């Protein structure tokens, strides 16, 4: 339901009403928009009790009325920020638990009593979860007014902190489910806990003074360019300098500390200043994206230079709205902190923001709240609290995502953006719609080296390259969503020079999975979806630089030096910057490559550009491991169709394609195996994800329609295993975000290495005891027994221990779990170079140790079965091995509700009555990769009926969860088999 703009004020009710309005403890932005709604309720003659932690002046500056009651209390904590731009995810969850979970019973009792004491007619929440539950227990209706909810924000934090925190998300969803309905503000996020929604215009504080009056009071003429710095606090260790501003500009600084000294062209504002007037009097704003800043920038048509915040999922939706109305310019965090502001500010004042929508959302919301309080029912499709809670938890599968990692956005994201009439989907999908034009790719480029191998996605990529310069042609329409990415990409290539193109696929983990880091045999299939990377080298004096990169080089005064510029397609679908650039000299220290640890810190400084570590990190690894010198500037376009967070190795495909393209452009001869090992160093040491090597090896060494067989000790390729013609593998995405950088994967890996260290210690002790009993006389001992103990005392990989030896000697001697501190006291180290033990964390040991030992045995059996006689027994055995693997993952703590549901659906399809009377189709399924969500691999008979069963599972999963899974079908060659393309534009674009 949408309530359109109205010009009438909220009419006074014949009944005097009492509202209890709860405001979240996260920042001032919520309080400032609540002010506007409360003001209209009070004007209508009602009492409003505001429960808030915000300072009094936020309300009393705008409202002077005895009907306003302020109660200082914080019942949630929002997102805990280390500084103005950095959110601490784990601290946020811990603080919420401390604030709202531990004292929950007393909070509810207190709030129910208070609500009854003030005789509240309606509870309003923005957007405190427990307020809705307290209202329900007090027998009072409740309504939420917001553009996001905390279950959506915290769901991503759970992925980083570990699934043991997921109860927080479900509890918040349950609290919201007691809400009558949601008054939804523009720029909203998906909020599945609310089943009834009313949309209203922007809620914006009114102006008290005109632009002319404000400038006159400040003594600033109309000819002076004025930027307002609005961060709600400033990044840690930041010192503003006079040269940050263009000549003749002034900057108004909000949130400056009393002790902070400012340059003469910066003006410190009082803490209680009324910012809407100052915003409207300025020429542009510089700050972070939040509802308050975006709504006021749009309302007063003020260009907004913004810097992304990390780990705040509200931001992409507000950013899309801001940029849709042509009001936003993104500044790289590095340029903010180092003072390269000029190109961004000058770009901002050239914009013409075009928002013409309503700005009276406060008035509209107040009218709805008043009518609800006197009994009007806005909930046209009212479900019970239990029904809505069920829906919220089911849809909660879709909440578990990590910003900066999603390329394929689920339906709920698309629905949120349809309000702006934006096309949804990825660039891949958009360009594929025009694939009938692909036949002209050979007319656009001369292929000087390489073979397209009839790969349709490669043809599509070449076509997209050829069309890049069209973004400069005003006569051609380009989707706004992709305009910035394509403008950036078109600006980095010299169309008269050669371009090198590499391609690397994702992979489907058939069997082996997380046992790779324990030395297991693995069987992996390269999938059809792949990443393409285009690379061009140019002399630094001829390289086309973005304006901010030019400004940075000019500031250094060193002339033209080699620069790396990267454009990543698909970034605007998530919360990462679409571009990245750096001076290649940043990778050098005293003419030697910097350490991997310093590089990791370098990329971690700006989370919105952390993705660049996967791409640019390949350059540092080549510098370090192969002593390669990079004297030319490098332009790169990264274009991946491998969906992220699905457990199909999107990161490995980016790394392998990037290094392959760079190696080709520089004439480096690197074997696919070595290239995979180098790419693993990127992910382990620069990105900081503790993955094994099977992902990179499959992406680099795999072949279409074959399984790569590899023993991960560290990367011994045994060969390629043909997939029998009667067998087929599918991947079904659960919609639950997988991340090998997440806490669960890392803790299981640590547990496995702890188990190995413990077993080595046990073997050493047993060997010493045996020698002691024999008084040192080795001749009295059985040679085989002592040799086995000697081997196990120096066990290099868990998978070199057979299951029967594990059960006979070690299984009962390993603890189920151990505290990190206790383990370190007893064993000093777990001997894993890519993970660090947290002393305060408890790690599962027995299950994590057992899994790779048995998985290695299962993979060997699986490989042998693939070459055996084709029969129903063969397929049944293959499926059974996959089921065993799946449940072993769960025992380690790496399962998920979504992947379990898919495996259950496969089993139901396999064992139903129809299957017993008809040809069998599906035989087994397992979670893949790092687990904790992602994709399920299914094995079945290669037949049309099997494919129909897969589609049935897809639809049944959607019916149960609301999420339509992606399907992975087919295979394609690895990067080594593809090689590279060297191309030149046949009709070079002539810049005007």
pLDDT at residue number 481: 47
pLDDT at residue number 824: 96
> Helices in 445-546 by DSSP H: which ranges?
456-466, 480-490
Cis previous bond, 127, omega within 30: yes
Among residues 254, 251, 250, which one has the least CA distance to residue 234?
Answer: 254
Taking residues 837-845, report their average pLDDT. Answer: 94
Residues 6 or more apart whose Cβ sits within 8 Å of residue 276: 204, 205, 206, 207, 208, 296, 300
Annotation says 695 is catalytic? yes
**Radius of gyration for the chain, computed over Cα atoms and rounded to the nearest angstrom:** 30
Residue range 713-761, pLDDT digits in tens: 988 899 999 999 999 999 999 887 655 445 588 899 999 999 999 999 9
Beta-bridge mates of residue 527: 971
- Of 61-70, 399-408, 564-573, 929-938, minimum mean pLDDT range: 399-408
Residues 6 or more apart whose Cβ sits within 8 Å of residue 961: 394, 395, 397, 398, 735, 898, 901
What is the end-to-end Cα distance of the chain in Å, rounded?
49
Longest CA–CA span in the chain (Å) reads 103
Burial of residue 113, with CB atoms counted within 10 A of its CB: 0-12 exposed, 13-18 middle, 19 or more buried: exposed
pLDDT at residue number 239: 87
Instruction: Give SS3 for 570.
Output: coil
Among residues 635, 434, 654, 432, which one has the least CA distance to residue 534?
Answer: 635
Taking residues 421-429, report their average pLDDT. Answer: 31
Among residues 124, 96, 105, which one has the least CA distance to residue 26?
Answer: 96
pLDDT at residue number 543: 84
Specify whether the CB–CB gap between 452 and 459 falls below 8 A.
yes
Phi, psi (deg, nearest 5) at residue 669: -100, 100
Alpha carbon separation from 101 to 96, 98, 165, 178 (Å, rounded)? 7, 6, 11, 17
Taking residues 581-605, report their average pLDDT. Answer: 94
Among residues 293, 309, 307, 312, which one has the least CA distance to residue 152?
Answer: 312
pLDDT at residue number 672: 96
Residue 37 has pLDDT above 50, yes or no: yes
Residue range 601-642, pLDDT digits in tens: 999 888 778 889 999 999 999 999 999 999 999 999 999 999
User: pLDDT confidence of 771, banded at 50, 70, 90?
Assistant: confident
Residue 534 has pLDDT above 80, yes or no: yes
Residue range 225-268, pLDDT digits in tens: 999 999 866 665 678 999 999 999 999 999 888 788 899 999 99
As a whole number of angstroms, the distance between CA 760 and CA 950 comes to 45
DSSP string over 295-327: HHHHHTT--EEEEPPTT-TTHHHHHHHHHHTT-
Burial of residue 472, with CB atoms counted within 10 A of its CB: 0-12 exposed, 13-18 middle, 19 or more buried: middle
Cis previous bond, 714, omega within 30: yes
Instruction: Give SS3 for 21.
Output: strand
pLDDT at residue number 421: 33
- Of 305-319, 428-442, 666-680, 886-900, minimum mean pLDDT range: 428-442
Specify whether the CB–CB gap between 707 and 723 falls below 8 A.
yes
pLDDT at residue number 848: 96
As a whole number of angstroms, the distance between CA 353 and CA 344 comes to 15
Other C-beta atoms lying within 10 Å of the C-beta of residue 486: 23
User: pLDDT confidence of 27, banded at 50, 70, 90?
Assistant: confident
pLDDT at residue number 407: 25
Instruction: Give SS3 for 452.
Output: coil
Alpha carbon separation from 275 to 206, 264, 296, 663 (Å, rounded)? 10, 21, 10, 53
State whether the Cα torsion 918-920-921-924 is positive or negative: positive
pLDDT at residue number 12: 58
Residue range 687-702, pLDDT digits in tens: 998 877 889 999 999 9
Among residues 706, 676, 707, which one has the least CA distance to residue 692?
Answer: 676
Among residues 470, 504, 884, which one has the least CA distance to residue 699?
Answer: 504
- Of 92-101, 401-410, 708-717, minimum mean pLDDT range: 401-410
Residue 6 has pLDDT above 70, yes or no: no
Residue 396 has pLDDT above 50, yes or no: no
- Of 27-36, 290-299, 430-439, minimum mean pLDDT range: 430-439
* Catalytic residue (one of 126, 406, 695, 832): 695
Residue 888 has pLDDT above 50, yes or no: yes
Taking residues 478-507, report their average pLDDT. Answer: 82
Mean of all residue pLDDT scores within the chain:
86
Give the torsion through C-alpha atoms of 341, 343, 348, 349, to 10 deg.
Answer: 100
User: pLDDT confidence of 547, banded at 50, 70, 90?
Assistant: confident
pLDDT at residue number 515: 92
pLDDT at residue number 412: 32
What percentage of the chain has pLDDT greater than the value 70? 86
As a whole number of angstroms, the distance between CA 968 and CA 959 comes to 20
Residue range 901-954, pLDDT digits in tens: 999 999 999 988 555 555 789 999 999 988 878 899 999 999 999 999 999 999
As a whole number of angstroms, the distance between CA 342 and CA 11 comes to 49
Residues 6 or more apart whose Cβ sits within 8 Å of residue 440: 463, 466
The highest-confidence range among 21-35, 84-98, 543-557, 819-833, by mean pLDDT, is 819-833
Specify whether the CB–CB gap between 468 and 491 falls below 8 A.
no
Phi, psi (deg, nearest 5) at residue 146: -170, 170
State whether the Cα torsion 424-430-432-437 is positive or negative: positive
Taking residues 49-77, report their average pLDDT. Answer: 94
Residue range 634-684, pLDDT digits in tens: 999 999 999 887 889 999 999 999 999 999 999 999 999 999 999 999 999
Residue 432 has pLDDT above 80, yes or no: no
């Amino acid at each position: 339901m949408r309530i359109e703009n109205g010009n009438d004020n909220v009419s006074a009710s014949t009944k005097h009403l009492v509202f209890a309005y709860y405001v979240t403890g996260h920042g001032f932005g919520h309080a400032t928009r609540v002010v506007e709604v409360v003001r209209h309720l009070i004007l209508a003659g009602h009492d409003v009790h505001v429960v808030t932690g915000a300072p009094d002046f936020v309300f009393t500056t705008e409202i002077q009325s005895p009907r306003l009651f302020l109660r200082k209390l914080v019942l949630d904590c929002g997102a805990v920020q280390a500084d103005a731009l950095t959110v601490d995810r784990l601290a946020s969850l811990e603080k919420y638990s401390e604030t709202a979970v531990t004292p929950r019973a007393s909070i509810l009792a207190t709030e129910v009593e208070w609500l009854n004491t003030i005789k509240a007619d309606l509870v309003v929440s923005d957007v405190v979860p427990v307020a809705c539950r307290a209202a329900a227990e007090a027998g009072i209706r409740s309504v939420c007014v917001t553009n996001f909810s905390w279950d959506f924000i915290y769901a991503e934090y759970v992925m980083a902190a570990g699934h043991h925190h997921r109860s927080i998300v479900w509890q918040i969803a349950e609290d919201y489910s007691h809400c009558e309905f949601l008054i939804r503000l523009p720029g909203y996020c998906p909020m599945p806990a609310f089943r009834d929604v009313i949309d209203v215009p922007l809620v914006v504080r009114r102006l008290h003074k005109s632009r002319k009056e404000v400038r006159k009071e400040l003594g600033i003429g109309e000819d002076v360019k004025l930027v307002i710095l609005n961060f709600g606090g400033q990044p840690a260790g930041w010192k503003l300098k006079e040269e940050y501003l263009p000549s003749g500009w002034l900057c108004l600084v909000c949130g400056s500390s009393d002790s902070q000294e400012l340059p003469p062209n910066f003006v410190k504002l009082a803490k209680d200043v009324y910012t809407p007037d100052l915003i409207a009097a300025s020429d542009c704003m510089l700050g972070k994206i939040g509802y308050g800043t975006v709504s006021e920038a749009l309302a007063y048509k003020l260009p907004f230079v913004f810097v992304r915040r990390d780990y705040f999922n509200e931001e992409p939706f507000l950013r899309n709205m801001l940029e849709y109305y042509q009001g936003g310019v993104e500044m790289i965090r590095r340029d903010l902190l180092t003072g390269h502001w000029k190109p961004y500010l000058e770009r901002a004042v050239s914009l013409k923001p075009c928002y013409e929508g309503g700005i009276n959302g406060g008035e509209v919301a107040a009218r709805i709240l008043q009518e609800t309080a006197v009994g009007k029912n806005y909930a046209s499709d009212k479900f019970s609290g239990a029904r809505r809670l069920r829906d919220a938890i089911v849809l909660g599968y879709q909440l578990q995502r990590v910003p900066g990692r999603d390329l394929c956005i689920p339906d709920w994201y698309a629905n949120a953006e349809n309000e702006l009439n934006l096309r949804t989907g990825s660039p891949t999908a958009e360009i594929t719609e025009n694939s009938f034009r692909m036949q002209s790719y050979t007319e656009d480029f001369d292929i000087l080296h390489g073979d397209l191998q009839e790969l349709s996605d490669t043809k599509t990529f070449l076509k997209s390259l050829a069309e890049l310069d069209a973004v400069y042609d005003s006569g051609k329409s380009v989707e706004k969503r992709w305009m910035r990415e394509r403008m950036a990409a078109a600006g980095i290539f010299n169309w008269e020079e050669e371009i090198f193109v590499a391609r690397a696929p994702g992979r489907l983990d058939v069997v082996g999975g997380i046992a790779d880091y324990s030395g297991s045999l693995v069987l992996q299939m390269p999938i059809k979806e792949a990443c393409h990377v285009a690379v061009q080298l140019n002399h630094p004096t001829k390289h086309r630089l973005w304006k901010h990169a030019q400004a940075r080089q000019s500031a250094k005064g060193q002339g033209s030096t080699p620069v790396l510029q990267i454009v990543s397609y698909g970034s605007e679908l998530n919360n990462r910057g679409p571009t990245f650039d750096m001076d290649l000299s940043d990778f050098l220290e005293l003419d030697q490559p910097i350490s991997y640890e310093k590089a990791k810190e370098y990329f971690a400084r700006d989370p919105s550009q952390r993705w660049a570590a996967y791409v640019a990190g390949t350059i540092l690894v080549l510098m370090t491991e192969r002593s390669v010198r990079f004297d030319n500037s490098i332009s790169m376009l990264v274009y991946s169709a491998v969906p992220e967070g699905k457990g199909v190795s999107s990161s490995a495909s980016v790394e392998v394609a990037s290094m392959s393209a760079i190696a080709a452009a520089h004439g480096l001869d690197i074997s696919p195996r070595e290239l995979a090992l180098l790419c693993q160093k990127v992910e382990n040491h620069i990105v900081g994800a503790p993955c094994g090597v099977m992902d990179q090896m499959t992406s680099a060494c795999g072949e279409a329609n074959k399984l790569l067989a590899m023993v991960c000790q560290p990367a011994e390729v045994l060969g390629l295993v043909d997939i029998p013609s009667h067998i087929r593998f599918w991947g079904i995405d659960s919609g639950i975000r997988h991340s090998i950088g997440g806490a669960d994967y890392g803790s299981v890996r640590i547990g496995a290495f702890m188990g190995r260290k413990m077993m080595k210690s046990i073997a050493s002790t047993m060997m010493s005891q045996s020698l002691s009993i024999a008084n040192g006389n080795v001749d009295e001992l059985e040679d085989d027994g002592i040799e086995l103990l000697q081997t196990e005392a120096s066990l290099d990989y868990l998978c070199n221990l057979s299951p029967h030896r594990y059960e006979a000697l070690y299984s009962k001697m390993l603890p189920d779990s151990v505290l990190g501190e206790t383990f370190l006291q007893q064993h000093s180290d777990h001997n894993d170079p890519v993970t660090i033990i947290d002393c305060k964390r408890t790690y599962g040991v027995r299950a994590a140790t057992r899994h790779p030992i048995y998985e290695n045995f299962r993979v060997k059996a699986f490989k042998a079965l693939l070459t055996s006689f084709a029969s129903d027994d063969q397929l049944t055995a293959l499926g059974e091995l996959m089921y065993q693997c799946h449940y072993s993952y769960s025992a380690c703590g790496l399962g998920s509700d979504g992947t379990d549901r898919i495996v259950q659906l496969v089993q139901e399809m396999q064992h139903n009555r129809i299957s017993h009377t008809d040809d069998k189709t599906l035989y087994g399924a397992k979670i893949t990769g790092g687990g904790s969500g992602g994709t399920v691999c299914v094995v079945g008979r290669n037949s049309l009926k099997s494919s129909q069963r897969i589609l049935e599972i897809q639809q049944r999963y959607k019916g149960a969860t609301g999420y339509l899974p992606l399907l992975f079908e087919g295979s394609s060659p690895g990067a080594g088999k593809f090689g590279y393309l060297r191309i030149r534009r046949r009709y070079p674009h002539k810049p005007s």
